[in-house]
Structure 1
Amino acid sequence: MARGAQRHKDARTRQNGAHPRQNGTRPRAQRPRDDDGVIQVLAKAVREVESAVQRGRTQPSIRTKFQVVALLMREERARVKAEETTSAARRTEELKRLDGIATILATTAARDTSLLGLLADDAVISDRARSLRRELLEAAGVEVPPDPAEKPAPTEPTATVQRRVVPRSVVSRQLANPFLAPDFSAVARRTAKPRRLVGWELIGPLLTSFEDGGALSCMTLPEPGATRVSGGLELMPHQGRLVAAAAAGHRTFLLADEPGLGKTAQALLAAEAADAYPLLVVVPNVVKMNWAREAALWTPNHPATVVHGDGDTIDGFADIIVVNYEVLDRHVGWLGELGLRGMVVDEAHYIKNRKSQRSQNVLKLSERIRTRTGHPLLMALTGTPLINDIEDFTAIWQFLGWIDETRPVGELMVALEESGLTPADRGFSTVARAAVIDRGIVRRRKRDVAADLPARRVADVPVELDDEAGRSIRAAEQALARRLVARYERTLEARHAGEVVEGIDHDLVRQVAAWERANKATKTSDENVFTMMRRIGQAKAGLAADYAAQLARSAGKVVFFAKHIDVMDTAEATFARRGIRYASIRGDQTAAARQKHIDAFTDDPDVAVVVCSLTAAGVGINLQVASNMVLAELSWTDAEQTQAIDRVHRIGQEEPVTAWRIIAAQTLDTRIAELIDSKAGLAARALDGADQEIAESSDVQLEALVTLLEDALGERVGRQAS
């Protein structure tokens, strides 16, 4: 209350012509006051942020303004609620206007999820943010006491006004090896300046050569060598061809295979073949954990580390560094000094806007690598066909070092010079297209490599729940485990009064798990295995929808399956925000409405996704117009999962089917997935979904509880032993 009274007192002082002094020494120039105070100033600022994000211009200054508006909105809400001198009607009106500002902030953050990190409790408040906070408050007629920690901020924020960090483990690596071995091949590989084509505009004709269509864009690849790799895994022939090209010395690839053809494994093994370590992998947040898992699977001799936030938990000595676009700006500095010899950009269409901050970060790092390493491995991965939005690929070509901002460079320019043609000559378009493809464009479709692929397969996509919902879920899992342990210990003590029991009584574990399943199946007062799985489904709904949206853009029509209505609602809201048209199949629809949605998905090329209830759409419908599907929530049995996949994998399907199963890492979700696989037979599921006798859903629920209890008891025994 005192704070609010002082604020209004300061405002009245300004109206009466007084000039408060700053630091007690000199008068500060009075800013024009907005009659409606802080809320009006915040309303104007939040509209500016909303407009910029809608135009795709989330510059550092906009990010700062978003954060400051959110902070001031919270402060003003607390002040309004505590202000006792304001009438109830006035207070209600002000809170309503603040709710409107909060709604705009929420919808803006949903459009650009990287903004959510600025709202975290541990988010850093930059000097520029402190300065902007002062400016907004003063514009509202509020006197702000000086902040000793505040430093002058530049009048025009630039890309350099970003919070940069250097993780401690990286410092340790730098101290252990303070000098990078010079790579003189960087100088040796410089090509002669163009002579014949000087003055010709070449980027446009290069793009036009792809817009004109033609044959499938794929460079000539060598025959694959050995197809077996570490751990007994085996490459498919089309994967082996790209790895063989890297082994033969090719170093730049635009890998545009359709989803489901194993681009991740190809990139990791190409890096191993090229000895391109340290290797940086830049990915969307939704697939960050999947890259770490795939690295451990395909290249186990090259440790991978994942950068979260400020990178406090990373292994600075790892060979593979995985970082998501949203936090890359914090780490550009030390990554540029690490001596990287390779860089992979996944979902490379994310950098299509060369003026965006994420694109500038990626291009800066690739330029740094090329100047330090003469022959680095650079790979851009995207399933988007080249013929769509071809201008977006200029940023990718620049990342690969094929062009700069104005013209072709390096080997591409040499090839164009040696052709003897100019853009005015007939045949230049064909030659230009071939020259770009030869630099490393690799594009295969499922139908092209159908012999390599199983008819049906399930691919897991681990996602990390690193928000408040994820932390709450992990806390609830721990509470469930503690309850199981407590019951186990009480029963054990009653059975063996006064005796010392060594190890874990596995029979008792199963009995306790059976009690828990029986007692909690119909109760909702405490967390149980059923409520846990529902909460996990809700938490990963947005991530699953984001992944489906990526598939829809790169691979065409996608079937999205979920068990619960709220997960379907979240997915449909996500698609609507992204401008993706969808159909919906739910249990409460009439037969006519249901068929209308099915027809829209199968017949209308603009309807990219169908959102299906696992129970309502799991049987009796044909959706084979798609060959990719997303399983947003886990079933309790493989049979239910297989029935959903069979909506796509059925007579009339001309392509191999891939079901992308979204798994919440480090949660009960992972255990359930493993149990379902073990019950169904992993080999049959991965190859062709062969029918097998499988366990009931109750068995999976029981085994999940058994696993949870045994893990908790194992950790307790380990602590006692240490």
Structure 2
Amino acid sequence: MAAQGQRRSGSTRSPQRNRRRAQDNEGIIPVLAKAVRAVETGVQKGRVERARFQVIALLVREERARLKGDESLTDAERDAQLKRLDGIATILAQTAAREPSLFALLAEDAEMTEATRHFKREMQLAAGLEPSADTVEPRRNGATAVRSERQVVPQSVIRAQLANPFMVPDFSAAPPRIQEHRLAGWELIGPLLNSFEHATPGVSSCMDLPEPRPAMLPAGLELMGHQARLVAAVGDGHRTFLLADEPGLGKTAQSLLAAHAAAAYPLLVVVPNVVKTNWAREAARWTPSKTVSVVHGDGLDVDGFADIIVVNYEILDRHVGWIGEHGFRGMIVDEAHFIKNKKSQRSQNVLEIADRIRRRVARPLMMALTGTPLINDVDDFRTIWQFLGWIDEKKPGPLLMAKLEENGMTPADFGFYPAARQAVVDMGIVRRRKVDVAADIPARRIADLPVELDEADSRSIRDAERELAARLVKRYDSAVEARREHRGVEVDGIDHELVRRVAGWELADAEDDSSGDNVFAMVRRIGRAKAALAADYAAQLVRSAGKVVFFAKHLDVMDTAAEVFAKRDIRYTEIRGDQSATARTKAIDAFVKDPEVGVIVCSLTAAGVGINLQVASNVVLSELSWTNAEQTQAIDRVHRIGQTEPVTAWRIIAAQTIDARIADLIDSKAGLAARALDGATEEETTTADVRLEALVSLLTDSLAARG
């Protein structure tokens, strides 16, 4: 009995037996066994973890090869470990039998996704192993880089993936078979680029577009002719576009309606941060039946079930993993010249997502939007063409190659180049200038561009607005209480006359108050907070559309804008209130006559009247005026007799602040004046009007909110 107890205690076990037990509980096999059971259970419950399934198959294969080559193991030890791997492989096969789509992942040549690399690295680390080289992502430029450690998967996205764990790939349209192979040995990317660099003067850069067709649009909206033509092309089946219309011709609306016509949902929209909020607003405006969600930071509040998801370049690296697996059927890249540098991370992220979308959908809608596809030289086309799938790293894609084969020539033939250029244009280049479609658009328009402020600035401004609203409510309540005590008057609901009187008191106090705790100081803070964003957008316009007039009310905003332009290597001049007449004239002449000067930074009060800046057709209003008359006078420095192009004034609005209220009030006052007095001057709307109405609106909303 004692001997039996001694044997059970394990004190007399052989070293070989202890070694086997240690091997059973260490290394990669226990990790794989646990993981394969989790995947099996998930499939039984209708949840398919494709990336984890593929990783298990890869690691089983690698571990099997390692065991067979490990000479330190005895035959018995090797056989035992191989038997355990066989058990895991059996579960994989049984799981794939339940979900046949997984069989493709068992193949040795199955391509690893970003999620697969992530899980492989995770399992290797859990097993105490050094991550293998293939968890370091290869880059297209030949270098390697580890994916950002800040990769995130928002909870709403996880719920969406669980609700629809496997979106069936759409391979209904196979690429054309290339009948001839005359061009197989030719280097073609260089000749394609040269065909644009040395194009015949006056040759069109726009594909043939069909005639406009009637379209069901939201009430109050209508398409211009040039916009309707592109949507009609989508209706005819075209799916890739380099939409290079000049700014102000409605590229956003065209692309959103193109996605609707192609049923390209869910749709991914990648944009600069400065226009992210505007894209969400425009999507809600043009396609109100589709849900829109904007990704901020780590995407904690993103809606994974949304039809349209908008994300900015700056945070794309955190979201590449889940975006590539989400099942998008369309992708729009705004300001596509941002990806011209193929070595930049933003370009690599965009190209990777585009490739992964094409692997799941044979003909997704892919759109690159930019007013200036070429900034430095013709080579800027490369990344955009690659994003659209027209070329890969070294050669044309199947569709473009088929078009080039059809013309019967090679780069040795002179006629190859115009034919090749036309072949690329026909792939989907759409380029219209304002002057070409002037009959379709208003001679002058104001476009609001909402921007998101820095988080700290936004929080501070919202707090100040709440404090102002609370002070107004307190004043109102005190007035109501005074009426009750002294006159016995009870107020039922909101006394709108009293609201206006309270707002008037606040306005009078603010004009005499230098402490900064008032509506004037708040609006000025907003102006400072959005100054860099406004200047950044102006810089984009300079690159894409030419000269820009930048208006601001305050000198510190002008200074911030000047710093941004200097950093962007954009030459600028300034008109300030403290300039001499000579300096002012010199600044205007430089802007008007020197083609290298891209921006003139103007004080709204000093440059609002008396100067002619019609050399530009784009105006950026970085700070709001207190009257429509002041705003109109600023725009009229550009929109005046002699202007040959339609004028667009971009009014920068700080989202979720009193800025939006002020913009609406300016517009409503202007509309009222126009309706009331045909031909009357807009000076009827005084400065006090808008300031007073802004306070009235703020107080009324606060009173209504408390019930």
TM-score (norm 1): 0.76
Structure 1 match to 2:148:
161
Assess, with a 3 A threshold, how the Cα gap between structure 1 residues 367 and 489 changes in structure 2: closer, same or farther: same
Aligned residues: 566
Matched position secondary structure for 2:168? coil
Give the drift of 1:181.
2.4
Corresponding residue of 2:548: 558
Q: Give, in angstroms, the shift of residue 161 of structure 1.
A: 3.5
Q: Deviations over 1:425-469 (max 9, x none)?
A: 111110010000000000000000000111111001100113322
Look up the equivalent residue of 1:305 and give its one-letter code: S
For residues 335-389 of structure 1, the C-alpha deviation after alignment (integer angstroms, 9 at most, x for no partner) is: 1111100000000000001111111110011111111111110000000055862
**Contact 1:614–1:644 (CA<8 Å) still a contact in 2?**
yes
The residue that corresponds to 1:196 in the other structure is: 182
Residue identity opposite 1:199 in structure 2: G
1:382 to 363, 370, 377: 370
| Displacement after TM superposition at 1:690 (Å) | 8.8
The answer to which of 202-211 and 491-500 deviates more is 491-500
Name the SS for the 2:380 alignment partner.
Answer: helix
- Equivalent in the alignment of 1:547: 537
Q: Secondary structure of the residue that 1:344 maps to in structure 2?
A: strand
Cα distance, 1:481–1:613 mapped onto 2, change above 3 Å: same
Q: What is the letter of the counterpart of residue 424 of structure 2?
A: V
Matched, 1:249 2:237: yes
Distance in 1 between the 2:672 and 2:365 partners?
Answer: 34
Partner of 2:157: 170
SS of 1:343's equivalent in the other structure is: strand
Alignment partners' CA distance in 2, 1:616 and 1:481: 33
Whether the aligned pair in 1 keeps the contact of 2:373 and 2:381 (CA below 8 Å) is no
**Distance change >3 Å, CA 387–CA 282, structure 1 → 2:** closer
- The aligned counterpart of 2:580 is 590
CA–CA separation in structure 2 for the residues paired with 1:534 and 1:383: 32
- Show CA shifts across 1:392-412 (max 9, x none): 110000000000000101211
- Please say which of residues 491-500 and 639-648 is displaced more in the overlay: 491-500
Residues 191 and 473 of structure 1: is their aligned pair in 2 closer, same or farther, counting only changes over 3 Å?
farther
Change (3 A) 1:153 1:605: farther
Q: Is 2:275 the partner of 1:297?
A: no
Deviation digits for residues 594-651 of structure 1 (CA, Å, limit 9, x no counterpart): 1111110111100011111111111111000011110000000000000011100111
* Distance across 1 between alignment mates of 2:509 and 2:519: 11
Looking at structure 1, the residues matched to 411 and 680 of structure 2 have their Cα atoms a distance apart, in angstroms, of: 56
- Percent identical across equivalent pairs? 69
| Aligned counterpart, 1:674 | 664
Cα 1:684–1:391 shift into 2, 3 Å: farther
Task: Give the CA deviation at 1:680.
Answer: 0.3
Q: 1:191 offset after TM fit, Å?
A: 3.9
Take 2:249 and 2:359, find their aligned partners in 1: how far apart are those partners? 32
Deviations 1:52-98 (A, max 9, x none): xxxxxxxxxxxxxxxxxxxxxxxxxxxxxxxxxxxxxxxxxxxxxxx
Judged with a 3 Å threshold, the aligned counterparts in structure 2 of structure 1 residues 154 and 637 are, in CA distance, closer, same or farther, namely farther
Give 2:316's aligned residue.
328
Q: Distance in 2 between matches of 1:545 and 1:714?
A: 37
| Matched ranges for 1:423-434 at <5 A | 423-434=411-422
CA contact (8 A) 1:213 1:387 kept: no
Q: Distance in 1 between matches of 2:419 and 2:241?
A: 19
Q: Secondary structure at the match of 1:594?
A: helix
Structure 1 residue 366 corresponds to structure 2 residue 354: yes
Give 2:183's aligned amino acid. L
> Of the candidates 433, 436, 455, which is equivalent to residue 424 of structure 2?
436
Q: Secondary structure of the residue that 1:521 maps to in structure 2?
A: helix
TM-score, normalised via structure 2 length: 0.77
Shift of 1:213: 3.0
Per-residue deviation, residues 180-206 of structure 1 (Å, max 9, x unmatched): 1232325x2364486211111100010
1:206 aligns with 2:204: no
Deviation at 1:475, TM superposition (A): 1.0
Alignment partner of 2:586: what SS? helix
> 1:281 is matched with which residue: 238, 263, 269?
269
1:483/1:243 Cα in 2 relative to 1: closer, same or farther (>3 Å)?
Answer: same
Which of 219, 222, 226 matches 1:238? 226
Which secondary structure does the structure 1 equivalent of 2:615 belong to?
A: coil
CA distance in structure 2 between the aligned counterparts of 1:370 and 1:153, rounded to whole angstroms: 29
Q: Classify the secondary structure of the residue corresponding to 1:496.
A: helix
Residue matched to 2:116: none
Aligned to 1:55: none
Structure 1 unaligned segments of length 5 or more: list them: 1-149, 718-722
Alignment of 1:409-424 (within 5 A): 409-424=397-412
Q: CA contact under 8 A between 1:456 and 1:689: conserved in structure 2?
A: no
Q: Name the CA distance, whole Å, in 2 between partners of 1:689 and 1:228.
A: 35
User: Any idea what the Cα deviations from partners look like across 1:476-500, whole Å, max 9, x if unmatched?
Assistant: 1111111111111122222235987
**Which amino acid letter does the alignment assign opposite residue 185 of structure 1?**
S
Aligned residue type for 1:638:
N
* SS of equivalent residue, structure 2 residue 660: helix
2:644 aligned with 1:657? no
CA distance in 2, matches of 1:550, 1:291: 16
Q: Kindly indicate whether the alpha-carbon contact (under 8 Å) linking 1:680 and 1:693 is maintained by their aligned counterparts in 2.
A: no
Q: Is the 8 A contact 2:268 2:310 kept in 1?
A: yes
In structure 2, do the counterparts of structure 1 residues 391 and 682 end up closer, same or farther at CA, with 3 Å as the change threshold?
farther
505 and 682 in structure 1: CA distance in 2 versus 1, 3 angstrom threshold: closer
Structure 2 counterpart of 1:300, one-letter code: P
Flag the 1:158–1:482 CA change in 2: closer, same or farther, 3 A: same
Find runs of 4+ consecutive structure 1 residues off by over 6 angstroms. Answer: 150-157, 682-685
* Whole-angstrom CA distance in 2 between matches of 1:211 and 1:605: 22
CA distance in 2, matches of 1:599, 1:151: 68
- 1:656-676 CA-to-partner distances (Å, cap 9, x unmatched) read 000011000100100000000
CA contact (8 A) 1:638 1:680 kept: yes
Where does 1:554-703 land on structure 2 (aligned, <5 Å)?
554-681=544-671, 692=682, 694-703=684-693
1:445 aligns with 2:436: no
Structure 1 residues 665-674 or 517-526, which shifts more?
517-526
Shift of 1:236: 0.7
Residue 701 of structure 2 aligns with an amino acid whose one-letter code is D
Match of 1:90 in 2: none
Q: For the structure 1 residues 710 and 193, does the alpha-carbon distance in structure 2 shift closer, same or farther, using more than 3 Å as the test?
A: farther
Task: Give ranges in structure 2 of 5+ residues lacking alignment.
Answer: 1-127, 137-143
Tell me the alpha carbon deviations over residues 118-137 of structure 1, each in whole angstroms, 9 at most, x when there is no partner: xxxxxxxxxxxxxxxxxxxx
Cα distance between partner residues in 2 of 1:465 and 1:382:
24
Q: Distance in 1 between matches of 2:701 and 2:303?
A: 26
Identify the match of residue 710 of structure 1 among 681, 694, 700.
700
SS in structure 2 of the partner of residue 560 of structure 1? strand
- Structure 1 distance, partners of 2:684, 2:320, is 50
- The answer to whether the Cα contact below 8 Å between 1:583 and 1:610 also exists between their aligned partners in 2 is yes
Question: In structure 2, what is the Cα distance between the partners aligned to 1:350 and 1:253?
Answer: 17
Change (3 A) 1:666 1:682: farther
Q: Choose 1 or 2 for highest CA Rg.
A: 2
Aligned-pair CA distance for 1:694? 3.7
The 1:682–1:660 alpha-carbon spacing in structure 2 relative to 1, beyond 3 Å, is farther
CA distance in 2, matches of 1:185, 1:482: 60
SS for the counterpart of 1:254 is: strand
The letter of the residue matching 1:528 is N
Contact 1:581–1:608 (8 Å) recurs in 2: yes
Aligned residue in 2 for 1:391: 379
Q: Match for 2:199: what amino acid?
A: G
Aligned counterparts of 1:555 and 1:691: Cα–Cα separation in 2: 31
Deviations 1:291-333 (A, max 9, x none): 0010111110011110000111112111000000001111111
State the Cα distance separating 1:249 from its structure 2 match.
0.7
Task: Give the Cα separation in 2 of the matches to 1:261 and 1:583.
Answer: 27
